[in-house]
Amino acid sequence: MSVDTQAIANGLRQRDPELLDLLIEQFQHRLFRYLVFLTGDQALSEDLFQETWIRVMERGHQYNAKSKFESWLFAIARNLVIDVSRRKKMRSLEELADPESNQPFEPPDLQGVSALQMLVARENEQAIQLSLLKIPAYYREVLLLRFHEELGLEEIAAVLATPISTVKSRLYRGLTALKNALPESAPRGAA
């Protein structure tokens, strides 16, 4: 059962436990997938998943129903990922906060992302999915939000707290990066 945004805003303002339970059930797959895409770490994603919902409960009064609930939810999760990456000095994730300040990206060593590797390694589309691990988290993030979550450009901009032009630029570059990260044997797409 889905709940409309105004009902969500009203319920969150009252810290309605039934509503929170329902939202956790309803958005668990999308939120967890987003966190795993960002962090590449299942255990960390579980912690962040719980912490995200605690923040939703504590700051529910700030949700004004003008945007989709999932955009607000992803923005909270993203800020938590950035906070944690700063605390734990996870450089690859800290770049989420300011990716434009980076040097040109270098594909990370696949050994270092074994958790996500295990999650995405499946038979037929394995090559393409593994190539996701080779591109920076801030490209993975926009690709997920656009092509998996099917959020609009404005909604992605709200999640990332960046201008739409930046979102577009990351999407174009992300598609190119994904194409370039594919192994020679895999089919390559336009980007």
Partner 1 sequence: MSDNLHTRAQQLLAQSLIEGITAADDAWLRKHLEDCQECREHAAATNNLLRALRAVPIEVPRDLAARTQMRVRLRAQETAGASRSGLVLWSLTAMSWLLGVMSAPLVWRAFAWVGEEFRVPKLALEMGFVLWWTIPALFAVAAVLHQRGVASNAKRF
Q: How far apart are CA 24 and CA 144, in angstroms?
A: 20
* Contacting range for partner 1; rule: CB under 8 A; set: 70-78, 88-96, 98-106, 181-189: 181-189
- Residues 42-61, mask of contacts with partner 1 (x by CB under 8 A): x---xx-xxx-xx-xxx---
Q: Which tokens go with 164?
A: 């739409």
Compute how many other C-beta atoms are within 10 angstroms of the C-beta atom of residue 148: 12
The reply to whether 89 sits near partner 1 by the rule CB under 8 A is: no
Q: Is the distance from CB of 143 to CB of 174 less than 8 angstroms?
A: yes
- Interatomic CA distance for residues 79 and 93, integer angstroms: 11
Which CB atom, from 101 or from 182, has the smaller least distance to partner 1?
Answer: 182
Using CB under 8 A as the binding criterion, the count of chain residues that bind partner 1 stands at 48
Distance CA 40, CA 114 (A): 8
Which positions touch partner 1 (CB under 8 A)?
Answer: 15, 17, 20-21, 24-25, 28-29, 32-33, 36-37, 42, 46-47, 49-51, 53-54, 56-58, 119-120, 122, 125, 128-129, 132, 143-144, 146-148, 153, 168, 171-172, 175, 178-179, 182, 187-191
